Amino acid sequence: MKSLILTHHPEEKLQFLDIPKPVPAAGQVLVKLKAAALNRRDQWIREGKYPNIQFDTILGSDGAGIVEAIGEGVAGDLLGKEVIINPNVNWGEDPKVQSKAYSIIGMPNNGTFAEYITVDADKVFAKPQHLDWAEAAALPLGGLTAFRAVFTHGQISEGKNVLISGVGGGVAQFAFLFAIAVKAKVFVTSGDQEKIDTCLNLGAKAGFNYKTEGWQKEALRSSGGFDVVIDSAGGNQINDFIKMAKPAGKIVFYGATNGMPQNLDMFRLFWNQITLQGSTMGNDLEFADMVDFVNLYKIKPIIDSVRPFSEAISAFDEMKKGGAFGKLVLLLD
């Protein structure tokens, strides 16, 4: 089968290789992939900027397809089912945090950038019927990570004031869509007015360009302060968020692309009883809940572009450039 594999190639680490189609072991299913989607993680791995890089792995954490074969002990009615894949591997026993054995498909286990994948049977979920293949493939990892940040940690609900920073991000867009769906008052930041405009059309109360000096004051003035901030940038901006948070507010972050802040306003944090909450991915129950939520609210992922699998490398290049708003999707077949 055709696969996009992380190799030692000196010029381009990602190479299309033809390798044997995998066979589902006991308890597994073989999924013929119809679509797959990129995450920033994939490009970071390509650049060697991710911990514990394992070569000779098929990348890709997001995928949707059709169950074509089943291993021993798997219920036969899964055969032929249209599914999306929960990317979790070995979350473990504690719903609050992943085990040390945790990973996601796409390294070290083989991922979705291939014609086929085998995963444990309990990791496939019926594809939401309101989504086409590209939309379904766009959902899993971003949706899962956002669901945990927005609901498990952020406790976002109707009427809450919410700031989604860097809304162009792959997870941030889901956080935005989920918060809008439950009728929170959602504000966004981006460095790109077009992305802000898209969010305003989708129901955002206001958007702020973080390249504009003084946006923080404007955000505080127009919102009256935030109950929850959802962030993945970190850096010194964390202290802005602390100032913009309402008393007893929460700042939930699932990344730190801007690195560590040079200080931390602990005085405001403790006096205002603010919570700084780290978050990443989500457990298997959250994945199931996220799919139910997406079905109930008919959430449609924002898609930047869809291209054939053979042009996957150009999608990685776009991810690196960073201008996209919405998921970069690859169609198999």
Q: Which residues bind a copy of itself (CB under 8 A)?
A: 94, 96-98, 234, 238, 247-248, 253-256, 259-280
Q: How far is CA 205 from CA 4, 201, 215, 231, in A?
A: 41, 10, 15, 18
CB of 99 to a copy of itself, least distance (A): 9
Report the greatest alpha carbon distance in the chain: 61
Nearer to a copy of itself, 126 or 260 (CB): 260
**In the complex, least distance from residue 235 CB atom to a copy of itself, rounded to whole angstroms:** 8
Cβ distance to a copy of itself smaller for residue 118 or 145? 145
Give me 27's structure tokens: 């308890």
Those residues whose C-beta lies under 8 Å from the C-beta of residue 55, and which sit 6 or more positions away, are: 6, 7, 8
CB neighbour burial string for 300-319, b if at least 16 within 10 angstroms, e if fewer: bbbbbebeebeebeebbebb
Which CB sits closer to a copy of itself, 210 or 297? Answer: 210
Comparison of 79 and 264: residue with beta carbon closer to a copy of itself: 264
By beta-carbon proximity to a copy of itself, the closer residue of 182 and 264 is: 264
> In this structure, what DSSP letter does residue 154 have?
T
Shortest distance, CB of residue 240 to a copy of itself, whole angstroms? 14
Residue with smaller CB distance to a copy of itself, 25 or 260: 260
Taking the complex as a whole, the smallest distance from the CB of residue 269 to a copy of itself amounts, in Å, to 4
Distance in Å, CB of 281 to a copy of itself, minimum: 9
Tokens 């999608």, residue?
Answer: 315
Closer of 233 and 299 to a copy of itself (Cβ)? 233
C-beta of 241 vs 316, nearer to a copy of itself? 241
CA 178-150-328 angle, 5° bins: 55
- Which C-beta is closer to a copy of itself: that of 206 or that of 256? 256
Dist CA 37 CA 93 (whole Å) = 28
Q: How far is the CB of 87 from a copy of itself (least distance, A)?
A: 16
Contacts of 59 (CB under 8 A, 6+ apart): 4, 5, 6, 14, 42, 45, 46, 106, 107, 111, 113
- CA quadruple 287, 292, 296, 301: dihedral positive or negative? positive
Task: In angstroms, give the least distance from the CB of 192 to a copy of itself.
Answer: 24
Per DSSP, helices labelled H in the chain are 40-46, 133-138, 140-147, 170-181, 193-201, 215-223, 237-244, 266-271, 284-296, 312-321
End-to-end CA distance of the chain: 11
> Closest distance between a copy of itself and the C-beta of residue 44, in Å?
13
Distance CA 270, CA 279 (A): 20
Q: How far is the CB of 61 from a copy of itself (least distance, A)?
A: 16
How far apart are the C-alpha atoms of 255 and 170, rounded to whole Å? 12
> How, if at all, do strands 82-85 and 62-70 pair?
antiparallel
